[in-house]
Amino acid sequence: MIGYIVKNIKKSLGALFVCALLSGCSSDEGNAVKTLLPGGLTINDKAIYLRGEMNDYEASETYRLRKDGHGYCTLATLRSDWAPYKFKFADENWSKGTNFGFLTPPGVLRDGARSLELNPNSKFEEISYYPKKDGVYRFCLIPKNDRYYVTVTKSSKKELPSMAQLIDMSRSDFE
């Protein structure tokens, strides 16, 4: 029993050491996260975030959109019994030109639905998403021919970065 406790304490201390080491690479706390997760989307020098009922509409680095294939995506955990989830993509101030809501009503997305065109100058036009199952979902903002679209798909566990991948990403920023 004591050996088990000591082993878990060592694991916790090791993880704490890695976090302290990585955050110590930057003098600005916000830059440490940006260094770990490079490729964040900015429009007019403003970071763009997933903001909605899944995160209390906060502009959090956890939900910042990052380059992913042909668009910019982030992951969020959803529960099907809490549907619909209302959301938008926006900067921290809900600024004109970076406040993406639906272009035409009703602004509803369901599993397997086609992409939905967005208005970058929206005010109150939130998108509603209905997940079929509990899980982690990929929210993507897709720029195409001077227009913007949203897709939401269920992600696989393989899409979540491991600690080793985060460390590798942070190293590439310093080279």
Over residues 95-131, the pLDDT tens digits come to 999 999 999 999 999 988 899 999 999 999 999 999 9
Look at 33 and 83; give whichever has higher pLDDT: 83
Asked whether residue 86 falls in the same domain as residue 153, the answer is: yes
Asked whether residue 22 falls in the same domain as residue 97, the answer is: no
Asked whether residue 89 falls in the same domain as residue 151, the answer is: yes
Cβ atoms of 68 and 140 closer than 8 Å: yes
Asked whether residue 150 falls in the same domain as residue 166, the answer is: no
How many other C-beta atoms lie within 10 A of the C-beta of residue 148? 21
User: How many domains, in total, are found in the chain?
Assistant: 2
pLDDT of residue 162: 60
Asked whether residue 110 falls in the same domain as residue 132, the answer is: yes
Asked whether residue 104 falls in the same domain as residue 169, the answer is: no
pLDDT of residue 167: 63
- pLDDT tens digit sequence for 135-162: 999 999 999 999 999 999 998 766 656 6
Asked whether residue 57 falls in the same domain as residue 143, the answer is: yes
Cβ atoms of 127 and 107 closer than 8 Å: yes
Cβ within 8 Å of residue 93, ≥6 positions away: 46
pLDDT of residue 43: 83
- pLDDT tens digit sequence for 158-167: 665 666 655 6
Nearest-10 crossing angle of helices 163-174, 2-23: 30
How many other C-beta atoms lie within 10 A of the C-beta of residue 127? 24
- Tell me, what CATH number does 120's domain have? 2.60.40.3620
Asked whether residue 133 falls in the same domain as residue 55, the answer is: yes
Asked whether residue 23 falls in the same domain as residue 54, the answer is: no
Question: Is 80 exceeded by the pLDDT of residue 65?
Answer: yes
Q: Any idea of the CA torsion for 35, 172, 90, 82, to the nearest 10 degrees?
A: -90
Instruction: Please state the pTM of the whole predicted model.
Output: 0.70
DSSP labels for 5-64? HHHHHHHHHHHHHHHHHHHTT-SSHHHHHHHHS--B-EETTEE-EEEETTTTT---GGGB
Question: Is the preceding peptide bond at 120 cis, omega within 30 degrees of 0?
Answer: no
Asked whether residue 132 falls in the same domain as residue 54, the answer is: yes
Question: Is 90 exceeded by the pLDDT of residue 9?
Answer: no
Q: Domain containing 134: what range?
A: 40-159
Asked whether residue 22 falls in the same domain as residue 61, the answer is: no
Which candidate, 124, 127, 131, places its Cα nearest to that of 82? Answer: 131
- pLDDT tens digit sequence for 66-87: 988 889 999 999 999 999 999 9
Cβ atoms of 108 and 130 closer than 8 Å: yes
Asked whether residue 85 falls in the same domain as residue 108, the answer is: yes
